[in-house]
Amino acid sequence: MKRGFTILAVLTALLLSFSLYAALVLAPTEQTMGNVQRIFYYHVPSAWVAFQLFLINFVASVIYMIRRSTKADIVALVTAEVGVVFCTVVLITGPIWARPVWGIWWTWDLRLTLTLVLWLIYVSYLVLRRFSSSSQTPLLAAVLAIFGALDVPLVYFSIWFFRTQHPAPVIGGGGSLDPRMGWVLVSNWIAFMALAWLICWTRYQLEVAQRAVHEAEAMQSLMEGAR
């Protein structure tokens, strides 16, 4: 397994650097926004990966509710944590892009606002996991994840309608995408997905090790107490 990991790591590194090169150089410069539009190739794929991770978190939480399998719980924790990291990237690159183009740091763009709300929900998810002192923390976290997922469509529609009342510039530009830009976007997306997979896998092993160590320590203090 170790060998497979390193091969994947090298491949991801290659893919990432190629996609970076493609985004900065190969992709054509957009007429209206100029070079700054290239932020698009990092901003949008990060958002897609974040949403994918949160989707996996929801599925893992439902599985945990049904089967109470620790594996599902750890997957839920890991995807939430890494998802928040990718979400932070989106929330930082968004305003950096909006500033030069529209002269404002924040715009109630549909995707950007949805990412912000999701970020808030999953940060509260991680806070709950850290502060919960009950032995049933995974269960409480799973319940919160399900509530979060139920909230997403409501958030989507409320912001969508909110935006029709307060028109705001759209980040990432809707409309048809020039195919020469399209493949660069997709290659970055794949690179980010591979990166996300690597980070999740490492974080998963770390969590498993951490829980084993805590258990061993607890068992030991119990034994020492008994002697």
Partner 1 sequence: MNFLTVTRATLAKDIRLEWRSKDAINAMLFFSLLVVVIFSFAFDPTAEESRRIAGGLVWVAFLFAAIVALNQTWARELRNQVLDAYRVSPAPAIPLFLAKAVGNFIFVAALEALMTPLFIAFYRLRPLGPGWQLIPIAILGTWALVVNGTFFAAMSLRTRAREIMLPLLLFPLSIPALLGMVNSTTAILTGETSPAFWIALLVAYDVVFTTACLLLFETVLEAE
Partner 2 sequence: MNANHYLYAAYIMTWAIHGTYLYNLARKAKRVRREIEKLKKPAIARSAPEQKS
Partner 3 sequence: MKQFGRFAALRGVTAEFSAGKLYVILGDNGAGKTTLLRTMAGLAHSTRGKITVLGSENIQASRAQIGYMAHPSLLYDEMSGMENLRYFAKLYRIPAGEVDRRCREAILSVKLDPDLERPVGQYSQGMRQRMSLARALVNDPELLLLDEPFSNVDARSAAEMAGLVAHARDRGKTVFVVTHQAAQLELYADEFIWMESGRIVNRTSALQGAKG
Binding site for partner 1 (CB under 8 A): 65, 117, 120-121, 123-124, 127-128, 131-137, 139-140, 143-144, 146-148, 150-151, 154-155, 157-159, 161-162, 165
**Residue 158, contacted partner among partner 3, partner 1, partner 2, none, CB below 5-8 A by kind:** partner 1
**Rounded CA separation 10/155 (Å):** 39
Of 110-118, 152-160, 174-182, 195-203: span binding partner 2 (CB under 8 A)? 195-203
Alpha-carbon distance values, 179 to 19, 24, 182, 183, 193 (Å): 15, 16, 5, 7, 21
**Rounded CA separation 10/13 (Å):** 5
Torsion region of 106: left, alpha or beta (phi above 0 gives left; psi -120 to 50 gives alpha)? beta
Q: At what angle do helices 110-131 and 137-165 cross, to 10 degrees?
A: 160
Question: If we measure between CA atoms, which residue out of 126, 131, 127, 135 comes closest to residue 218?
Answer: 135
**Residue 222, contacted partner among partner 1, partner 3, partner 2, none, CB below 5-8 A by kind:** partner 3
Using alpha carbons only, give the angle 205, 209, 214 rounded to the nearest 5 degrees.
150
Figure out which of the listed residues 1, 25, 66, 223 binds partner 3, where binding follows CB under 8 A: 223
Binders of partner 2 among 98-117, rule CB under 8 A? 99-100
Of 134-142, 154-162, 178-186, 198-206: span binding partner 2 (CB under 8 A)? 198-206
Question: If we measure between CA atoms, which residue out of 19, 3, 141 comes closest to residue 72?
Answer: 141
Of 35-43, 69-77, 108-116, 173-181: span binding partner 2 (CB under 8 A)? 35-43
**Residue 46, contacted partner among partner 3, partner 2, partner 1, none, CB below 5-8 A by kind:** partner 2
Work out whether the CA dihedral 160, 164, 170, 172 comes out positive or negative. Answer: positive
Contact residues for 185 (Cβ-Cβ < 8 A; gap 6+): 40, 41, 44, 45, 177
x/- mask, partner 3, residues 109-148, rule CB under 8 A, reads --------------------------x-------------
Chain residues binding partner 2 by CB under 8 A are 20, 24, 33-36, 38-39, 42-43, 46, 82, 85, 88-89, 92-93, 96-97, 99-100, 195, 199, 202-203, 206, 209-210, 213, 216-217, 220, 224
